[in-house]
Amino acid sequence: MLLGGAASTQADAQGSPRNAAPAANGGQLAVQVNDDRITLSVAKVPQVYLYGTIDADAAQRVGAMIQSRKIPPNSDIYLNSPGGDLAAGMALGRLFRAGNMTTHLGSPRRTATQPIFPKASQCVDACAYAYAGGLFRWAPTGSDRFGAQPVSGNPSASAASAYLKDMGVNPQVFGSAPSSEVTWLDAEQMRKDGLANNGRLTPTAVYGPANGGTSLTLTQQARDGEHRLILQCRPDGLSITANYAIGADRARQMVARATHSYFEVNDKPVAEDNHANIATVGQSVVFTQSIPLAQLSQLPSAYLMAAWLADRGGNVRYGFWMEMEPVRNELRSFSNGCQQMAKQTAAARS
């Protein structure tokens, strides 16, 4: 079998894959790397398709392609496999995590040397463990199917459990031995269990004193960059700053097209301002607005906070949102501290 990249041919004007492999045969995993101009202009990163049975040497071959940068860091990995060698599946997952790669389910598009692949993809057994290695993991869509299956017997079960924990996945999501049945998980269940994150890691929070007041910094790593909300409470009021780290070029383009910025709590606007407060700072779009202290009552129970820029075209907005449940305790502490400061300030003025 030829691995993708074994024979390197230049992409043509129509955007055919530069590194294409024929369909898997002989029980081996096949690889196709799409890094043509069209793919990169749309996806921004190469799309790597791994399909067929995961054989014992699969990770070694894929690792060689990563080492030679035929599969570069941050690539999108598309999986379609009935499973295979468990150790190889976990080794693939570790390669994906080391390279900050994103995992999906998907089949390669047809080329001149390849047959038509079925539209539906599946990822089961060893493939599911490989999928778990993605830093960002997209839930299946359409007819794609994801099957989680527990591993029975030592030391395989212990190794599989330790691997999933290293990847930040609860081993219970894959079921429990001695059951060996496949559990077919839908997209909603995968997101609920933390197996899929759809391009967003769990947000973190840092709460503490700052500049004569209190500060809460919420940070989330996402597929498109780093998202940060900074709430500051001082005697003279409450402010919120958005820091949207997406790269200098894209940040400048976004600021040039923005007409105004606004923040939302639970999908409802809480502050809005004109273009004057929007700036490019290094790799980020940054904007700050004041928030009425009356809005504090919403924070302890907020389930969603968002920061947006309105595009001058009127139909598009740029920005990000964060779920608040993972940082609930810090959010409540900040709100309580800010409310106490507001009471002390009011008492001092009376």
- How far apart CA 346 and CA 350 sit, in angstroms, is 6
Q: Is residue 2 part of a domain?
A: no
CATH code of the domain containing 165: 3.90.226.10
Q: Are residues 163 and 34 in the same domain?
A: yes
Q: Are residues 126 and 250 in the same domain?
A: no
Q: Are residues 223 and 78 in the same domain?
A: no
Percent pLDDT > 90 in the chain is 65
pLDDT band at 117 (very low <50, low <70, confident <90, very high): low
Q: If you average pLDDT over residues 240-248, what whole number do you get?
A: 96
Q: If you average pLDDT over residues 315-343, what whole number do you get?
A: 92
| pLDDT at residue 223 in the model | 93
- How far apart CA 226 and CA 241 sit, in angstroms, is 14
Give the residue from 137, 165, 192 where a domain finishes. 192
Percent pLDDT > 70 in the chain is 87
Distance between alpha carbon 286 and the CA centroid of its chain, in Å?
Answer: 21
pTM: 0.82
| pLDDT at residue 13 in the model | 32
Q: Give me the number of domains the chain comprises.
A: 2
Q: Are residues 186 and 44 in the same domain?
A: yes
Q: Are residues 160 and 214 in the same domain?
A: no
Inter-helix orientation angle 156-166/86-98, to 10°: 20
Range of the domain at 159: 30-192
| pLDDT at residue 235 in the model | 84
pLDDT, tens digit, 9 for 90 and up, residues 227-243: 999 999 988 788 999 99
Contacts of 176 (CB under 8 A, 6+ apart): 150
Give the residue from 150, 169, 192 where a domain finishes. 192
CATH code of the domain containing 266: 2.60.40.1880
Give the residue from 192, 217, 235 where a domain finishes. 192
